[in-house]
């Protein structure tokens, strides 16, 4: 009798530990890849409820699936992304991020997955800024640490432009709709989303600065090559195009 009880107990123990093991195992089995982003940049990354969606989120998901990782998205200020990657807090940064020589000094970039331009948003009526040259003496809203910020700071701050730097593009656009700045310089697709969401503003015809978007990774990380392989497969089989087309109508 004692033996039987012992056996049953032992069997129960094995079962519970097996159950515990598999249930934890299922969650921990797949290693995570942390993506640093700034999720206020529709259509590349933005919130739908409490979920981050968009072109970057979906391409990252497809890459992680190919590489056998679980994707975790870490939302932060745009100007914290590179530090998150260099410090190892995040495995890669993907945020409609433009490849620049300055950034290449601290991180590596994967192959580019799409291109963009910087554009100027102004009030629909009585705009002080009618063309790119008018930026010289304007007050310009930008998102802190973005290429828009870098270009106008380099080009127009000396000539008397006043640069107002915001943590979110949306805050720069809000300042524009309130008449607190004369123009906003930002990437073309988010600009279109802002114009669609706000009355009384428009995008000027002359865009400037063509850019390549890519994923940033820690210098000399083996992830670069892994991501590039996955990315080229996803480009070849049409997945990247399908994701971009889903979010960018025309
Ligand atoms: N393309 C610009 C840059 O790399 C702006 C990117 C802003 N991205 C964002 N998720 N807020 O500087």
- Average pLDDT of the chain to the nearest whole number: 91
Angle (deg, nearest 10), helices 188-197 and 169-177? 50
Q: What is the pLDDT of residue 207?
A: 74
- pTM (2 d.p.): 0.87
Give 4 Cα–ligand 1 centroid separation in angstroms.
Answer: 67
**Lowest-pLDDT range, 24-33, 38-47, 198-207?**
24-33
Q: Is the pLDDT of residue 23 over 90?
A: no
Q: Is 128 helix (H, G, I), strand (E, B) or coil?
A: coil
Please write the tens of the pLDDT for every residue from 56-99. 999 999 999 999 999 999 999 999 999 999 999 999 999 999 99
pLDDT tens, residue by residue, 155-198: 999 999 999 999 999 999 999 999 999 999 999 999 999 999 99
pLDDT of residue 18: 45
Q: Which atom of ligand 1 is nearest to the CA of 149?
A: 12
Pocket lining: 146 vs ligand 1, CB cutoff 6 Å: yes
Strands 201-203 and 51-53: unpaired
Query: What is the tens place of the pLDDT at every residue in 119-141?
Result: 999 999 999 999 999 999 999 99
Report the nearest atom of ligand 1 relative to the CA of 98: 4
Bridge partners, 116 (sequence order):
211
> Which ranges of the chain does DSSP label H, i.e. alpha helix?
2-29, 55-67, 81-86, 101-104, 147-156, 169-177, 188-197, 223-236, 239-247
By most ligand atoms within 8 Å of CB, the mutation choice from 39, 98, 99, 166 for ligand 1 is 98
d(CA 247, CA 219): 31
**Which pLDDT score is estimated for 34?**
98
Token code pair at residue 66: 């190919």
Q: Which pLDDT band, with edges at 50, 70 and 90, does 30 fall under?
A: confident
Contact between residue 192 and residue 115 where contact means Cβ atoms under 8 Å apart: no
Share of the chain above pLDDT 90, in %: 85
Give the pLDDT mean for 104-122: 98
Indicate if the pLDDT at residue 28 is higher than 90.
no
């Amino acid at each position: 009798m004692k033996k039987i009880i012992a056996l049953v107990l032992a069997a129960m123990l094995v079962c519970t530990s097996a159950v515990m093991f598999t249930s934890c195992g299922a969650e921990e089995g797949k290693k995570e890849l942390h993506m640093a982003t700034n999720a206020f940049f529709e259509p590349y990354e933005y919130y739908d409820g409490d979920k981050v969606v968009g072109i970057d989120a979906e391409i990252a998901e497809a890459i992680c699936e190919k590489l056998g990782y679980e994707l975790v998205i870490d939302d932060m200020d745009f100007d914290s992304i590179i530090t998150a990657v260099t410090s190892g807090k995040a495995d890669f940064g993907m945020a409609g991020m433009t490849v620049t020589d300055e950034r290449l000094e601290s991180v590596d970039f994967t192959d580019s997955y799409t291109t963009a331009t910087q554009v100027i948003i102004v009030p629909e009526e009585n705009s002080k800024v009618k063309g790119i040259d008018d930026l010289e003496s304007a007050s310009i809203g930008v998102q802190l640490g973005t290429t828009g910020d870098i270009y106008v700071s380099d080009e127009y701050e000396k000539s008397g432009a006043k640069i107002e730097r915001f943590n979110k593009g949306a805050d720069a656009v809000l300042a524009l709709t309130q008449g607190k700045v004369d123009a906003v310089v930002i990437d073309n697709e988010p600009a279109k989303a802002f114009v669609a969401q706000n009355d009384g503003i428009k995008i000027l015809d002359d865009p400037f600065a063509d850019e390549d978007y890519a994923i940033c990774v820690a210098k000399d990380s083996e992830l670069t090559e892994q991501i590039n392989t996955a990315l080229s497969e996803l480009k070849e089989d049409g997945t990247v195009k399908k994701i971009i087309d889903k979010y960018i109508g025309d």
